[in-house]
């Protein structure tokens, strides 16, 4: 199955969590890497870098190293272009999504992706399966 990784999931791979939650996140990522085709987009990478610095004070260099070590080797980064913007406009109006989520959904739809790994409940109301721990 084609699966899109949202920023919330990637962020949890790089922050201190209660042990039980960290084990669930790590196990889910391992299962996904072993069994699914994984995708994301540059907006997710941008959000991960920014949120980890702004909210958790994790230096940019640490986050970039984490992305380069455990995400980029296993996850295809799909482009965001005009076709995604055009689809995102519709998604904003149809589902009431924030612009960045509407762009992620456009990437998902335009790429034939079946599921998204995200904590974001806004994706419960769109035609894609939401996976969470």
- pLDDT tens per residue across span 72-124: 999 999 999 999 999 999 999 999 999 999 999 999 999 999 999 999 999 99
pTM confidence score: 0.96
Q: How far apart are CA 115 and CA 131, in angstroms?
A: 7
Q: How far apart are CA 75 and CA 70, in angstroms?
A: 9
DSSP class of 68: I
- Residue 110 half-sphere exposure, CB side, CA atoms within 13 Å? 21
Q: Is the pLDDT of residue 133 over 90?
A: no
The hierarchical CATH code for the domain 2-131 is 3.40.50.1010
Q: Across the chain, what does the average pLDDT equal?
A: 98
Q: How far apart are CA 112 and CA 2, in angstroms?
A: 8
């Amino acid at each position: 199955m084609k699966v899109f990784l949202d920023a919330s999931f990637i962020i949890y791979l790089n922050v201190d969590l209660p042990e039980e939650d960290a084990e669930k996140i790590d196990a889910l990522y391992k299962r996904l890497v072993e069994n699914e085709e994984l995708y994301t987009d540059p907006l997710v990478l941008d959000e991960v870098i920014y949120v980890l610095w702004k909210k958790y004070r994790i230096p940019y260099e640490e986050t970039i190293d984490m992305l380069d070590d455990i995400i980029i080797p296993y996850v295809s980064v799909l482009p965001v272009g005009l076709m995604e913007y055009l689809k995102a406009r519709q998604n904003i109006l149809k589902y009431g999504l924030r612009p960045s989520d509407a762009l992620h959904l456009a990437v998902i739809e335009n790429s034939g992706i079946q599921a998204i790994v995200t904590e974001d409940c806004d994706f419960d109301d769109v035609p894609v399966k939401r996976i969470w721990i």
